[in-house]
Amino acid sequence: MSAAPVNGVPQTQAKSNLGESRYRAAFEQEESPMHQPSRHACRLPRQAAFCFTSCAALLSLGAARAADPAPPAATPQAVVDSMEAVFGPNAGKRRNHTKGLCAEGRFTTAPGAARYSRSLLFSGQPVPVQARFSLAGGRASAPDAARSPRGLALQFRLPGGALHQMAMLNVPVFSSAMPQSFFERLDADRPDPTTGKPDLARQKAVAERFTDNKALAAWMSQHRPPPSFANASYHGLHAFRFVNAQDQARWVKWHFVPRDGEKELSEDEIKAAPADFLAKALAERLQHGPVAWDMVLTLGEPGDPVNDPTRPWPAGRTEVTVGTLQVEHAGGSACEAINFDPLVLSDGVQAPPDDPVLAFRSPAYAVSWARRRAEAAQGQAASGQAPVGDAAKAASPRGEAATTKAVTR
């Protein structure tokens, strides 16, 4: 029996991704010989003093290791487990970006876009799009004014039926350069079974060990949430290799710039905002016509980092507009069966071979997708629901640290 398709693509056609075993090999710590006492230690009486000192030191070292075990390796399963522990149960729902809104529209190509990529995304024909706007984090009840990133995920159905997907945030850089730092920062927000709160000492230790979130933390400290999904730019975060029909290639990054302009809530508006307003704001805006974003490529230069989404490219790089996304309708649930794996790419767009975060996203998305689809099939989607609407403002802010405080630690 063949495996069930994911995102409408048979698994036999899916691009291979790095598996869990590779991540274990990359991140697990090996046992050091210094931690293994010699079988010859302490045999001779004339070495008794040395033996006593050495064995005491070994016992002390062993006790220290037992008290401070090495952190577990970041695997797709471990990351999803941590999201469930931090944010609480979300049976039948996404483990991250749980609160969201489906939308539909189309993408049209700008003149000259094909000079950069032979992808059918830039064929010149209008391309139907399934979209999902969201809030980062695993709380279905997250308030819409939360100081966390906003997401935009897109699935393009290309001429001939092939798919191309994007998963973007309204921030210019990511929080982590490696899956391990993302995992440990997230897992440090896991509530202690005794207190029900995260271990502050552990959070501090993780913050001291990993500093790759500093660029994002600085950006977040200078910006506030948008009043509407229509007033945010969305960034692809990772570098991709565009290849045209002549096999000419270059590295690019992309972001989608709103034609309605970028806007931010004021501090007073954040305090007064209801728990849920983003869906209503988008619906009201759509009454006046489609909402549009221009897809803008930033053209990389030699030496620009292509394997680290925490490092922005230098200012002043050439930018070109290659198309326009128009969102025409919002609502429904058509997007909820899609996992928006960002490695579902069309010919002419290639992922970097050594970006560990991008490679990790694909199997992590698959784990989350498989769990929620299994739960939905078993009728568990109604369990573990968090409060919604204004009631959410009085609910415990469980898990907020993973999407707001975590990026500033």
* Eight-class DSSP state of 244: -
- Amino acid occupying residue 392: A
* Rounded-to-integer distance, Cα 312 and Cα 310, Å: 6
- Amino acid occupying residue 105: G
Is residue 292 classed as helix, strand or coil in its secondary structure?
A: strand
Q: From the candidates 40, 97, 164, 288, which is the catalytic residue?
A: 97
Cα dist from 150 to 16, 169, 183, 235, 382, whole Å: 29, 6, 20, 10, 25
Q: Is the Cβ–Cβ distance between 355 and 239 less than 8 Å?
A: yes
* Rounded-to-integer distance, Cα 214 and Cα 201, Å: 20
Q: Is the Cβ–Cβ distance between 198 and 189 less than 8 Å?
A: yes
The residue length of the chain stands at 409
- Amino acid occupying residue 92: G
* Rounded-to-integer distance, Cα 363 and Cα 341, Å: 9
Cα dist from 360 to 183, 304, 345, 366, whole Å: 11, 22, 15, 10
**Which residues make beta-bridge pairs with 256?**
234, 295
The verdict on whether 97 is a catalytic residue reads: yes
Nearest to 138 by CA among 177, 192, 196, 80: 80
Residues designated as active site: 97
